[in-house]
Amino acid sequence: MAQSVSETFEFTFAGVATLDARLSVGALSIEPGVDGQAHVVVTKRARHGFLGRDDITEDELAEVVVTVEQRGDRIVIDGPRRRNGRSLNNISIEVTATVPRATNLDLRISAGQASARGVAGRIAAQVDAGNFEAEEVTFADGSQLTVNAGKVVASGALAEGASLAVDVNAGSVRLELPRTTAVNLDARAQVGALDLVGWPVQVQRRFVEQRASGPLAPNAKGELRVRVNAGSAAIVAR
Global pTM value: 0.92
User: Exposed (0-12), middle (13-18) or buried (19+): which is 202, by Cβ within 10 Å?
Assistant: exposed
Q: How many CA atoms lie within 13 A of 150 on its CB side?
A: 22
Report the b/e string of 22-55 with b at 16+ CB within 10 A.
ebbbbbbbbebbeeeebbbebbbbbeeeeeeeee
Dist. CA 120–CA 86, nearest whole Å? 38
Q: pLDDT digit string (tens) for 23-38?
A: 999 999 999 999 999 9
- What CA–CA distances, in Å, run from 65 to 44, 73, 103, 147? 9, 23, 25, 25
Distance CA 27, CA 109 (A): 8
Neighbours of 91 (CB within 10 A): 24
**Are 39 and 97 spatial neighbours (Cβ–Cβ below 8 Å)?**
yes
Each residue's pLDDT, cut to its tens digit, for the chain (238 residues) gives 458 889 999 999 999 999 999 999 999 999 999 999 999 999 998 866 545 455 567 777 878 889 999 999 999 999 988 766 555 667 789 999 999 999 999 999 999 999 999 999 999 999 999 999 999 999 999 999 999 999 999 999 999 999 999 999 999 999 999 999 999 999 999 999 999 999 999 999 988 899 999 999 999 999 999 999 999 999 999 9
Nearest residue to 216 via CA among 180, 168, 169: 180
